[in-house]
A and B are shown apart, each in its own frame.
Chain A
């Protein structure tokens, strides 16, 4: 077994990994920037090392500082969490070279899935359905026009190295191709240092459905029940649930089979997520994330597994310990991302002192958070303050529990997305289940007696 893990992250996910280490009897090393001197991950780890000033580029993305910290503390493994260096193939490769166990797949697999055009090709070659589009990167305006003639408009142009909607353009007609292609390529180059793009048929109304997988080095792979992450704002997930409401059994079986095909063809090791879009009874592969995801907790709740503990065991060369009954979901779980953003003012980021912090409790409620009263939210990092996960025997009960828990949740000192989540849970269409990723874009927020409410945008 790994003896000591350096946690190359901050916030709630650093705590999540430290907690798993504690339960497994593994020592943990936190790294932190000078902006995180008062942070819980620095307090709760067995050891901690300050690695740099507040900007992430000089601290949480500073590979030499993190490797030095691992050497100084004698850590034998690095857990990257999500974000920061979690999908940085170069970092994984450096860890491999200096003899540190990177908790995740090998650097070649990270690079392969990190290139979205190559990931599409790999999936198609493994017999996984992909959205119709270009074979690999698309090199010219003429090529896009040829695809437009073949597949019909609208199309979407996406950055090969991309994610999060950057370097992405929807093209409604041939007349828009040139400007959109050049714009997407320029933006991709500026954001990712790689201007190559690929093209897919654009589907306006779809659901985001994803499969959590875990694979060990002994050839065992498990695929957990699907998660539905369709409640998004500007391509950022806000609410995730498992299982996906109203998904037909044959689709569910098809998703499991498709994920296993891709994971098998990669010789994958560790935790990962295969992401699909689902529309009109059909699912298609979009990308694979070669890391732990923010929303892994909903799977943990319905399956009764500890995904982070399994990651650490797999990285130690041990066998997966997931009983078959864990692969059938027990009830329903929903996760709400509580972000330091003001939904009343176009989601303006918030920072500053947390004056009151009272997380909810009671049956079926889990809160993963690095907050405490008196904590100062630094302005340098992402806005996730807490994840609230509720679990109940079915979706309706989980929604009622979610409303109860969100009502109890008190954070003062800054605006958060708490009232937005309550508004979503009150929405009739959401309660029926099966909404698409345009759910929030099709509604506007209205303040009513101190509460937020979602109204359909007419027309």
Chain B
């Protein structure tokens, strides 16, 4: 059957917008603007969606265990599959210990994937309540690594 030109029949490039939204989510940047001919598309993230910890597309109901997050604890999750390290290098002290006060942006650990060291930072300020992964063990995407008790605002 002969192909029809979809672009001509569909003046709104919905597919491209969808791709941009995906790109925006994955990259974590705040805004993407694209211009092609007379069409200009701009995609902006909602402020809370720009942190790397915002997990997109999960059904709201999914929170498998009756989690400590209900007690006001905040989970810092792994953004990649890799190996979890608590210290910057072997023999050095851990970035953080239980009971430490951390501020947003402070490095908590490293997750190494394909020889790349990914520093995982706290996305809120608070107190380290629990370390959930084992040093030098494997972690999967979205696995909770730390529980923090966020500071009172």
Contact = CB atoms under 8 A, between A and B. Distances in A.
B141 A53 contact: yes
Given A58-B26, A234-B1, A51 B81 contact: yes
Interface string A40-59: 00000000011111110111
A52 B59 CA distance: 15
A451 interface: no
Contact of B22 (A34, A55, A68, A169): A55
A304 B5 CA distance: 44
A258 interface: no
B149 to A, nearest CB: 25
A72 B82 CA distance: 7
Interface in B30-63: 55-59, 62
Main secondary structure of the interface of A (DSSP, over half): mixed
A59 B62 CA distance: 18
A439 to B, nearest CB: 11
B57 A72 contact: no
Contact of A72 (B56, B83, B142): B83
Contact of B3 (A35, A67, A69, A165): A165
B56 A37 contact: no
Most buried by A among B57, B59, B83, B141: B141
A64 B113 contact: yes
B3 A169 contact: yes
Contact of A69 (B5, B81, B143): B81
B55 A72 contact: no
Residue among B26, B116, B140 with most chain A CB within 10 A: B140
Interface in A15-74: 34-35, 37, 49-55, 57-59, 64-65, 67-69, 72-73
A37 B80 contact: no
B2 interface: yes
Contacts of B141: 34, 49-53, 59, 65
Given A34-B55, A55-B26, A68-B82, A49 B140 contact: yes
Interface in B1-44: 1-3, 5, 22, 25-26
Given A51-B141, A53-B57, A68-B113, A37 B62 contact: yes
B138 A441 contact: no
A454 B64 CA distance: 46
A169 B3 CA distance: 6
B89 interface: no
A110 interface: no
Contacts of A169: 3
A73 B138 contact: yes
A441 B2 CA distance: 10
A234 B26 CA distance: 31
A52 B25 CA distance: 12
A34 B57 contact: yes
B81 A380 contact: no
Given A57-B26, A65-B113, A234-B1, A50 B57 contact: no
Contacts of B70: none
Given A165-B3, A168-B3, A441-B1, A54 B57 contact: yes
Residue from the set B1, B25, B56, B116 with the largest chain A CB neighbour count within 10 Å = B1
Contact of B140 (A51, A53, A234): A51
Contacts of A59: 141
B50 to A, nearest CB: 15
A307 B57 CA distance: 36
Nearest to B78: A50
A170 interface: yes
Nearest to A154: B2
A55 B22 CA distance: 7
A183 interface: yes
B2 to A, nearest CB: 5
B56 A54 contact: yes
Given A52-B81, A72-B138, 19 more contacts: A34-B58, A37-B62, A49-B81, A49-B138, A49-B141, A51-B140, A53-B55, A55-B25, A57-B22, A58-B26, A64-B113, A67-B114, A68-B113, A69-B81, A72-B82, A170-B2, A183-B5, A380-B57, A441-B1
27 contacts: A34-B57, A34-B62, A34-B141, A34-B142, A37-B64, A49-B141, A50-B81, A50-B140, A51-B140, A51-B141, A52-B141, A54-B56, A55-B25, A57-B26, A64-B116, A65-B141, A68-B113, A68-B114, A69-B81, A72-B81, A72-B83, A168-B3, A169-B3, A170-B2, A183-B5, A376-B59, A438-B1
The 5 A-B pairs at the shortest CB distance, nearest first, are namely A72-B138, A54-B57, A50-B140, A68-B81, A441-B1
